[in-house]
Structure 1
Amino acid sequence: MTGWRGASSAAGTKRRARSPGFPRTSAAPIRRSRWCWRGRRGCDGSPVTGRTAIALLALAGAAGAASPAAVLHLKSGGAVAVSSYWIEGDTVFYEGPGGVVGLPRSEVARIDDDAPGPPPGRRSPAAPRPEARPSPPDRGSQDRWSDEELEQAIARLEEERRRAGIAEQRRRIDEGLANLHVLLARRHAERGELDAAEDEYERALGLLPRHRVARVELGWLELRAGRSRRAEAVVETGLAADPDDPWLLELRGEILYRANRLEDALEDLRAALRKRPGDAGLRARLEKVRRDLSAERGYRRTLSRHFEVRYDGDRDDAAGELLVEVLEDAWDELTRELEVYPTEPITVILYTSRQFHETTGTGREVAGLYDGKIRLPAGGIERVTPAVRRVARHELVHALLRAKAAGPLPRWLHEGLAQLLEPRDPDTVRPALARAASEGRLDLEPFSYPASLSFVAFLDSRYSRTRLLWLVERLARGQPEDDAFLGAFGAGREELVDEWRRWLPERS
């Protein structure tokens, strides 16, 4: 690929010459300021450290967000969107906040010219479903910066902010600071430190109240923590300033959906999709709400101390009352067993068997589901059988674990605890485990219900419920499984799995 090399003239314009490796850019005047740095030294001659570079890149992310003409891809994994750039010797220069910023050419992997939009780290945030969350600025570099480096970069920019005398400079610095606070917030969130993450997002919004990434991610964080009222306040504040923002509309649609205001949720999700017609995830969520609304149209709502139960009032008055009684009876026991005490009601929806499988898209082998709401194919029942009671308790355990552990938990742990507290006797799965052992496949992966029940029962009986809940909390904070096992039990996962295999014959 053919590129350009330039040097500044006395008049302050770019003079370009051929140089391999980088594409062409148009001429633009150069403005010098305290922010520029050449090679490894700043404009004042001081060395440029890693944390200074982080601060500069955070500012550059804010500066380059509007109509970038090129993207500088760094070898560290980061990316900077710029409106123009040029090369002098071993340095790539571009227009940054308040002046010119320079990067050592050796740190630039490639440059994409005439970029159609922002680089990956600066894309508009997508709705944070479990598999897709909003990306803060320069996410590629985020994983390579320690918390200490981010905090030092924040301190450096705060010092520069105090020195800045021009309003425009302070505005650019505020953008960079807000971006760094978002990066630090995401670090905390990934470790399950939700309160610390909330503080960092609030700091970002204190600097820039219209920082879209900070507001959207904070709203989803509050939902993840089960604080729906806070999430609603975050999104309504954002929509007051920008009522057509599709990311905030999607977030409010999710809040309304979880509050069972399905028609209002549908309206917001439709408005968001009109702005983002190519978003497949948003379209799928909209279709999910449509299915729920179709199945639940005309449903009656019953409120108890801890539950909101929705059912067909013409058919399921008796079933609704029976399920409320079962769930309330289980509440005190299961909250005590799991040491969790949710403050917001849990939604329970009763369907006929056909409605349940059509709405949830599950197979006939599925007897219940928790996906943020407990869904049971118990419509029309006239009495509570032991099987119905077990399924209701099983799904309630999933709901309580979600309230206790905002972060993701392994499926074997979720299902193992849910089965144990149905309660289901671990001895009933011994034949299935014996077959698995004889075939050399007695393990936690691939997932199986018998293995998950047996392993969780082993941890619960051999060690204690307290240590098992320590494991839940450590995993929810984002600790790797082996580290979480070591912290909770004093032994690694594989060591305990081997001990479980030896323990099983003792149970025979």
Structure 2
Amino acid sequence: MVIGRSGAFLLKSACVLNRTIVIAFSCLACLSAQADTIHLKNGRTIFADSTHENKGKVEYQVGDDTYAIPKTSVDRIDSGGAPVRSGRSSQDEIAISAPVEDISRSGEVQSKLFRDGHIDPMAISEIEAMGNSELMAAALFVAGRFEYNNGNRDLAIGYLQRGLRFAPENPAMLHLYVATLLSLNRGQEAIQYAERATRLEPSSADAFNLLGAAYFKTDHTEDAIRAWQRSLKLRPDPSVQAMLDKAMREKNAESDFSEADSGHFALHYEGKQTSTALRREILDTLESHYNSLVGELGVAPRQTISVSLYKSPGWSGAVYDGKLRIPVDGLTGVTSELSRVLKHELTHAFINQITHGRCPQWLNEGVAQALEPKTISSVGRQLEQLYSDHRQIPLSALEGSWMGFSNSQAYVAYYEGLAAVEYIRDTYGMSDIQRILQRLGDGASTESALRSTIHGGYADMEDGVADYLKRSYGSSN
């Protein structure tokens, strides 16, 4: 097997990143070991920083808050490795992978596009100067695929948009563009391109898989089911089958839903399964959090936020994936824990609208945790040691999805994101977090948004977070 210069660079980078992550997770074993998972007899799951029994109750801590539940309602407690997440899991999300097909003449441009392991814009300009549309389309496709595979989805979008001007009906270009839009939660934009791809290639399982994902992310569940069924008929695939099963469960759950409306939320619920009082309390809680977030983030979403209440939906904990989904099994009212989780997930809805789906994961989760509110105080010393040894996971490596992370890996990632957000907020003010989100929404890369706001990129951020942790949690404190 022959590996070109860019391929060798990617392999080297991957090896370095993997070693960094392994070291970081080893150093934070004691941190992640603090997390417990409480499994309730009604099927729900609670992620806690720590638990202990006291007079017939299980008391558990989430951040700075302590809660208690009757021991009789607990099935078991698993110690260690649970992430600080509010119900979101890899099973709750739609997995989007880049199509594997290539584009004509990509081999001719592959070796010309890279300089020091990165895409060279000058090389693309030189190819464009040749006046060959097919060759230019190939160059932009290769550049877009490279940036997509490296987690730089905003850069990928830019290359692929240009590429579509040169090859508007090329299936490979369309498939990769749709996958990139979906990875940025821009499902509505993706639909027209996904539909075009299926018209051009009606026998492509990949095209119908991407179309199904675009429909599902935009709440067109029945259309998603038909697209995924067509994909599976063309080519069996376990991952597509899993997404189809998820869509079918959701369709069945929503088959007898009723609707209610408030000023900012469209509520869908199973009419016979949720009481009027519970629905009213959930909406009141969401409205209260909405008003708080408008002040904290400095903007009000333009679009109504869709909320669905489910009975036995197949997952535990609220989750936001374009719609705020809340399981209500066993609930008679809004507990303090549920209120905290609702604010966390509602923050994701705000950020998605502010940034148009362009927010890096570490910032998205960091802001959502900070506004719950949650702090890093319980693990500050461990984080400080990790950063002082220069063994943290680089924030640039936490931009994309964490779906492939184990529970302990996600635990570390969540706390690093929270630490970074606390550093920005406490050093520069919440207004600078608002400006970073707004710049991302305007199309800036994360590096550019940071530099234009706090006057430093990722390298400066890493140093700043390390100094912040040392001041706050170092051995002298």
What TM-score, normalized by structure 2, do the two folds share? 0.61
Please state how far the C-alpha of 1:392 moved relative to its aligned partner.
Answer: 0.9
Query: Does structure 1 conserve the Cα–Cα contact (< 8 Å) formed by 2:127 and 2:135?
Result: no
Residue 282 of structure 1 corresponds to which residue in structure 2? 240
Give, in whole Å, the separation in 1 of the partners of 2:121 and 2:94: 25
Summarize deviations over 1:333-355 as a string: whole Å, max 9, x none: 32453355544443333234xx2
> Which fold has the larger relative contact order, with Cα–Cα distance below 8 Å and residues 6 or more apart in sequence?
2
Query: Does structure 2 conserve the Cα–Cα contact (< 8 Å) formed by 1:266 and 1:286?
Result: yes
Q: Does residue 433 of structure 1 match 2:366? A: no
Query: Does structure 2 conserve the Cα–Cα contact (< 8 Å) formed by 1:482 and 1:493?
Result: no
Query: Does structure 2 conserve the Cα–Cα contact (< 8 Å) formed by 1:309 and 1:349?
Result: yes
Residue 133 of structure 1 corresponds to which residue in structure 2? 98
Residue 182 of structure 1 corresponds to which residue in structure 2? 141
Summarize deviations over 1:37-94 as a string: whole Å, max 9, x none: xxxxxxxxxxxxxxxxxxxxxxxxxxxxxxxxxxx9564458xxxxxxxxxxxxxxxx
Residue 465 of structure 2 corresponds to which residue in structure 1? 496
Residue 341 of structure 2 corresponds to which residue in structure 1? 391
More deviation in 470-479 or 382-391?
A: 470-479
Query: Does structure 2 conserve the Cα–Cα contact (< 8 Å) formed by 1:225 and 1:403?
Result: no
Correspondence list, 1:158-177, <5 A? 158=131, 161=132, 174-177=133-136
Summarize deviations over 1:356-393 as a string: whole Å, max 9, x none: 5xx23x5xxxx433344323233564443433322211
Please state how far the C-alpha of 1:285 moved relative to its aligned partner.
Answer: 2.0
Give, in whole Å, the separation in 2 of the partners of 1:77 and 1:188: 12
Please state how far the C-alpha of 1:505 moved relative to its aligned partner.
Answer: 7.2
Residue 91 of structure 1 corresponds to which residue in structure 2? none
Over aligned residue pairs, what C-alpha RMSD do you find?
A: 4.4
2:430 to 444, 462, 465: 465
Q: Does the C-alpha gap of structure 1 residues 444 and 388 become closer, same or farther in structure 2, counting only changes over 3 Å?
A: farther
Give, in whole Å, the separation in 2 of the partners of 1:217 and 1:344: 28
Please state how far the C-alpha of 1:250 moved relative to its aligned partner.
Answer: 1.8
1:456 to 421, 444, 452: 421
Residue 445 of structure 2 corresponds to which residue in structure 1? 477
Q: Does residue 311 of structure 1 match 2:269? A: yes
Q: Does the C-alpha gap of structure 1 residues 268 and 490 become closer, same or farther in structure 2, counting only changes over 3 Å?
A: closer
Residue 349 of structure 1 corresponds to which residue in structure 2? 308
Please state how far the C-alpha of 1:450 moved relative to its aligned partner.
Answer: 6.4
Give, in whole Å, the separation in 1 of the partners of 2:463 and 2:297: 25
Residue 369 of structure 2 corresponds to which residue in structure 1? 419
Residue 257 of structure 1 corresponds to which residue in structure 2? 216
Q: Does residue 208 of structure 1 match 2:208? A: no
Give, in whole Å, the separation in 2 of the partners of 1:440 and 1:203: 42
Q: Does residue 148 of structure 1 match 2:148? A: no
Please state how far the C-alpha of 1:269 moved relative to its aligned partner.
Answer: 0.3
1:409 to 352, 360, 375: 360
Q: How many residues align?
A: 358
Q: Does residue 233 of structure 1 match 2:192? A: yes
Residue 337 of structure 1 corresponds to which residue in structure 2? 296
Query: Does structure 2 conserve the Cα–Cα contact (< 8 Å) formed by 1:342 and 1:403?
Result: yes
Matched residue of 2:456: which SS?
A: helix
Matched residue of 2:269: which SS?
A: strand
Query: Does structure 2 conserve the Cα–Cα contact (< 8 Å) formed by 1:311 and 1:379?
Result: no
Matched to 2:122, the amino acid is E
Give, in whole Å, the separation in 2 of the partners of 1:76 and 1:392: 47
Please state how far the C-alpha of 1:497 moved relative to its aligned partner.
Answer: 1.9
1:376 to 326, 331, 335: 326
Summarize deviations over 1:113-148 as a string: whole Å, max 9, x none: xxxxxxxxxxxxxxx976621355449655554121
Summarize deviations over 1:231-255 as a string: whole Å, max 9, x none: 2222333334444433332222122
Residue 217 of structure 1 corresponds to which residue in structure 2? 176
Q: Does residue 291 of structure 1 match 2:249? A: yes
Matched to 1:375, the amino acid is R
Please state how far the C-alpha of 1:416 moved relative to its aligned partner.
Answer: 3.2
Matched to 2:379, the amino acid is L
Query: Does structure 1 conserve the Cα–Cα contact (< 8 Å) formed by 2:365 and 2:417?
Result: yes
Give, in whole Å, the separation in 1 of the partners of 2:274 and 2:297: 31
Give, in whole Å, the separation in 1 of the partners of 2:448 and 2:151: 10
Q: Does the C-alpha gap of structure 1 residues 335 and 249 become closer, same or farther in structure 2, counting only changes over 3 Å?
A: farther
Give, in whole Å, the separation in 2 of the partners of 1:175 and 1:439: 53
Matched to 2:456, the amino acid is G
Give, in whole Å, the separation in 1 of the partners of 2:288 and 2:476: 32
Summarize deviations over 1:140-162 as a string: whole Å, max 9, x none: 65555412102211221x1xx5x
Summarize deviations over 1:148-186 as a string: whole Å, max 9, x none: 102211221x1xx5xxxxxxxxxxxx4333222323445
More deviation in 267-276 or 309-318?
A: 309-318
Give, in whole Å, the separation in 1 of the partners of 2:473 and 2:457: 22
5+ residue gaps, structure 2, are: 8-92, 394-408
Matched residue of 2:136: which SS?
A: helix
Matched to 1:400, the amino acid is F
Matched residue of 1:491: which SS?
A: helix
